[in-house]
Amino acid sequence: MTTIENGSETRELAGKRALVTGGSRGIGAAVVRQLLDAGAQVLTTARSGTATVPEGAAFVEADVRTRTGAEVLAAAVREVLGGVDILVHNAGGARPHASASAIPDEEWQDALDLNYLASVRLDSLLVGGMREQRSGMIVHVSSAAVLTPVGPFLHYVAAKAALETYSRGLALELAPFGIRVNTVTPGRVATPGGEATREQWARLDAAPGQTNADDTVPLGRDGRPDDIAHAVLFLVSERASWLTGSNLVVDGGEFPRG
């Protein structure tokens, strides 16, 4: 959002330093683009050193599943940004299997590392600086699959459910320091990762068949990466200055919730 103050244009996040994990495609790339448009300085990461990221963003290759990857990112934050104001934990995903019992042990661990522990490790390395500056905005990206947990995806769903509980707890712990922590929960979004997962899902014998978004999403279409990025941008903006510990579900109305 751009505002006019004293006759000159001010971009809403001018002067803010942001780290976004998984910014080379899909939802992460949309978040990076919108942060840049809002005037923030952005550093992003992916595992592939040849990844292309939105123009204007800095890039560091790191695997967020490991403690080493988190340390590489924390060092890059210090060197490239000189600190961080906005932290968006977006990298995530998993491969579905025929049933919960068919999920190999190493994929349970991988799902936990990518979808839950990556955030825990990176937060633990970066919130110290936010506490010192007594400000910061953290967003964790979950999944609406948590609302209807099914066996083939249980490693992913259980990890995201843990992430949501963790995010809420961290919000309460950090609120006295002026740090806001929120979750964005996307429904079905058209991204390379989302489409690959749905294709794998459709090939599983035991999995329920795929349906068209027109049939299942009350708003009649799949989400776009920008739909999720808009929610993230709102949560890190001053417009959300009284929001912490919240979970914004962005799913076109698809998933039931109490």
Ligand X SMILES: NC(=O)c1ccc[n+]([C@@H]2O[C@H](COP(=O)([O-])OP(=O)(O)OC[C@H]3O[C@@H](n4cnc5c(N)ncnc54)[C@H](OP(=O)(O)O)[C@@H]3O)[C@@H](O)[C@H]2O)c1
Residues that bind ligand X (CB under 6 A): 21-28, 45-48, 51, 63-65, 90-93, 114, 141, 143-144, 186, 188-189, 191-194
Q: Among all residues, which ones are annotated catalytic?
A: 156
End-to-end C-alpha distance for the chain, whole angstroms: 32
Sign, Cα dihedral of 26, 107, 144, 208:
positive
Rounded to a whole number of angstroms, the minimum distance from the CB of residue 60 to ligand X is 10
Rounded to a whole number of angstroms, the minimum distance from the CB of residue 190 to ligand X is 7
Residue with the CB atom nearest ligand X in the bound state: 193
Q: Token pair for residue 82? A: 């000189």
What's the CA angle centered on 208, arms 206 and 209, to 5 degrees?
Answer: 115
Nearer to ligand X by Cβ, of 37 and 61: the residue is 61
Rounded to a whole number of angstroms, the minimum distance from the CB of residue 64 to ligand X is 4
Rounded to a whole number of angstroms, the minimum distance from the CB of residue 108 to ligand X is 16
Q: Token pair for residue 143? A: 């999944």
Nearer to ligand X by Cβ, of 52 and 133: the residue is 52
Q: Give the ranges where 57-209 is alpha helix by DSSP (H).
A: 67-76, 105-112, 118-133, 154-174, 192-203
Spatial separation of the C-alpha atoms in residues 201 and 197, rounded to whole Å: 6
For 53, other C-beta atoms within 10 Å of its C-beta total 21
DSSP states of 203-227: H-SSSPPP--HHHH-TTSS-B-HHH
Nearer to ligand X by Cβ, of 12 and 155: the residue is 155
Nearer to ligand X by Cβ, of 41 and 143: the residue is 143
